[in-house]
Chains A and B, each alone.
Chain A
C-alpha cells in the first residue's frame, strides 16, 4: 500500500473520502481550512463553502437524514456558531453517519480564544474522537462514521493546530462507498418538538453510558503497559510528547475522549503508582477521573493555556533541569497587512478623521496594531455591526458619529447581514463599512457567496452586496474604490454625520488573488524628499528609510497601489510603469 506524507488535514479528507462521504459543507477557519480544499479534489464527493458554520452543519444534517454519509468542518469558534444544530442533532441522531470535524487552536496561532471543543461535546452529549498523528487522523475519520451509525449519533472528530498542520506518513487505501441508508419518515426521531425530544433525551443518556462501557473494546483506546512507576492518561498530539519523554512508562492512550471509558480508566489507574493526566487546555479528563475518586496529577503541574511540549513534560514530571540557551531579545516580527492591501488605505483615512472602528474577524483585524491603531474592538464574526448598534442605543446617535463598524465581505455574508438587519429594523443611524476585497482573505483566499465562484472552481451566481444592503432597507449605500482616499474621506465624513443607517462598500481586490496584474510601481524621487515620514505612517512594508533619511521603496514588494504617493505633499513619490 502506498505511503504518502500528508498534512493532518489532508489525512482527514482522505479518510472521509475512503469512508464514502458524499457531502461536505464548511466555512474556512484556521486550522481546519485545508480539509475542504483537499476533499474537493477527490472524485465522487460534493464539497462546498457555506456562508457560516451553522448552515454548513445543517447541510450535513440534511444529507445524513436523506441517507448519505456527510460531514462539516470548522475551527473551534465555528463550533459555537454550529452549536444550535449540533446540540439538537445529538438528540435526533443520524440516518447515515455524520461527522463534524472541529479544529481547536491551543497556543492561539490564529484565533480569538483557545476554547476546548471537548467541553462543548460534553454539554451536547456528542462523542469525540481525537487522533494523535496523520495516520490516525485518516483512520479515526473512517471509524467516526462507523461509530456514528452504530450508536445513532453525530460524532465529532477533534483536531488541533499542531496535528492539522503537521505532516506524517499515511497509507492510502481504497474508497468504499456503503449503500445509502433508506429513508423513512420518523418524526419521533427528527422532529424535535418537546414531546419527541423527551424520549430522545433518555436515549441520549443511555447511548452515552453504552459508549463509555464499550470504550475498553474500541481499537482507538489502548493501554501500553510498561514500567508501572509512572502511568499516563493522554490523548491527541500530547501522546507524542509523552512518548518522547517517557518511552517506558505505562500509557493509556484515549482515542475516544468523550464519553470516557470509565472502567478502563479505573483498571489502568489501579495498576500504576503515580498517575498523570496529560491533556492540553481544559482538565476535561482530569476532572472526571478525580470525580471517580482516583488520585492523579494534572493541571496543578501543567498549564491550562497554550500547547504542551516534550520539554514541558521533562520539567514538570521528571524535574529535569534543561540546559537551554536563553532566547535572544530581538525585534518582534508580527504579521501585517501586505504591501498594497486596500485595508491599509481605508484605515489611513479613518485614522486621519480620528474615527474609532468596531472591528471584526479577518485580515482587517490587523488595523488594531501599530502603526494604524484604528480598530478598537474585535469579538467574533459579525460583532462589529451589532456592537456598534449597541453603543448607539446606549449612548445616543451623536456618540457613534465618531465610530464606524468595519467588516469584510466574507464576514458580512457569514453573520454581518443579520446585524445590519437589526440596525434597520431598530432604527439605528450608525455607519457600516464593508471592506470588499472579493475573498475570504486571512484563511488563504477562499471564495464565498459574493465572489461568484464555488469551492470546486465552478462559476456561480455572485450575491451582490450593494443590492443586498438595499434590499434589507438601507437607503444610503455607496461604493467607492478603497484607494481613492480623497473620495473616501468625503464619503466617510458625510455618512457618519448622517442621521440614518449608511453602508460604505470599499472595493479593491486582495493583492494576493491570482490573476491580479500590477502594471505600476512606486519609486521615490530622492531630491524632492523632505524626509518628513508621512508616507511611512500607514506602515507599508515596502517602504524604509535610507541611511540619509530619504525613502527607499523595495520594488520586489511594491505593487504600485499609490497610497504612499497620495500622502506625499512634495511629489517625492511617483508611480511608473514597470
Chain B
C-alpha cells in the first residue's frame, strides 16, 4: 500500500491539532504505521499552522512535501491557497469556506485575494463547505472543524464506524456526542 499523505492547514486556534490526532488514531486503529508532524508554541497567536499526517506500511519522514499530498484539509480559504502547491496532481482539497484576515491585511499592507475557491477549482478537485453555518445549525460553532473532517472522510478509505469510534476516544468526553453529530453532518453532505 502506498503511503497516504494528508495535510491539515488553518489558522492557529482552529483545531488543526485535534483533527490530526483523530487521523492518527484512525491509522493506529487500522494497524498502519503512522507519523504526524505539528507546529507548537507560536501557533496560538493567530499564525498560519500546518499539520502533516502520513500512514501506510512503513513511514519514514514525518512531513508531507511539495507535490505529495493526497488530501489537503483547509480550515480557512487563504490557507488552502497558501498550501495548494503541496497537492499531488489528482489530490483533493477539502476547504472550509471561511475568511480570517491576517494582520497584513488588517493593517492594509496586503489584500485578501478574491475568488480563491474558483481559482483552486480550475486546477484541483475542490470540495468546499460552509462549516461555520452548519456548526451553528447544530448549536455549537466550535465543531466546524469536525464537520470539515466529515467531508474529507468521504474521500478517504476508512469506514464511518471507525471514524465515530476514534472520535469518541479522542475528544473530551462531554463533547463526544456533538462531535459525532458534526462528523455525520459532514460525512453526508
Contact = CB atoms under 8 A, between A and B. Distances in A.
Interface string A382-395: 00000000000000
Size class of the B contact interface (CB-based, 8 Å): 35 or more
Contacts of B47: 333-336
B61 to A, nearest CB: 4
A110 B41 contact: yes
B62 interface: yes
A367 to B, nearest CB: 13
Interface stretch (A60-68, A177-185, A319-327, A496-504): A319-327
Residue in B81, B103, B107, B112 whose Cβ sees the most chain A Cβ within 10 Å: B103
B82 A330 contact: yes
B113 to A, nearest CB: 6
A3 interface: yes
B18 interface: no
A33 B38 CA distance: 14
Interface in A220-246: 237, 240-241, 243-244
B119 to A, nearest CB: 9
Interface in B101-119: 101-107, 109-113
Given A331-B111, A338-B45, A442-B42, A544 B106 contact: yes
Interface stretch (B29-37, B148-156, B174-182): B29-37
A337 B67 CA distance: 33
A518 interface: no
A34 interface: yes
A472 interface: no
Contacts of A536: 106-107
Given A322-B67, A539-B103, A31 B61 contact: no
Contact of B35 (A167, A336, A442, A541): A167
A327 B43 CA distance: 21
A21 B25 CA distance: 29
Contact of B106 (A165, A237, A363, A541): A541
A7 B79 CA distance: 25
Query: Which secondary structure dominates where chain A touches chain B?
Result: loop
Size class of the A contact interface (CB-based, 8 Å): 35 or more
B140 interface: no
Interface string B10-48: 011000000000001100100001111111111111111
A556 B141 contact: yes
Contacts of A323: 67
Contacts of B61: 237, 240-241, 243-244, 309-310
Contacts of B138: none
B130 interface: no
Contact of A335 (B42, B87, B106): B42
Contact of A331 (B41, B66, B78): B78
A444 B24 contact: no
B41 A336 contact: no
Nearest to A241: B61
B11 A333 contact: yes
A344 to B, nearest CB: 12
Interface of B: 11-12, 24-25, 28, 33-48, 59-63, 65-67, 78-79, 81-82, 84-85, 87, 101-107, 109-113, 123, 141
28 contacts: A30-B40, A34-B40, A109-B42, A162-B37, A165-B38, A166-B37, A166-B62, A167-B36, A168-B36, A237-B62, A241-B60, A311-B67, A325-B66, A325-B67, A326-B85, A331-B110, A332-B110, A333-B104, A334-B104, A335-B42, A335-B45, A336-B103, A338-B46, A370-B107, A512-B44, A539-B107, A541-B103, A556-B141
Interface of A: 3, 5, 7, 30-31, 33-34, 109-110, 133, 162, 165-169, 237, 240-241, 243-244, 309-311, 322-328, 330-338, 363, 366, 370-371, 442-444, 512, 536, 539, 541, 543-544, 556
Given A166-B35, A167-B34, A167-B35, 9 more contacts: A5-B28, A30-B40, A109-B39, A332-B102, A333-B103, A336-B45, A336-B47, A338-B44, A536-B107
Q: Which 4 A-B pairs have the closest CB atoms?
A: A335-B47, A331-B110, A166-B62, A335-B45
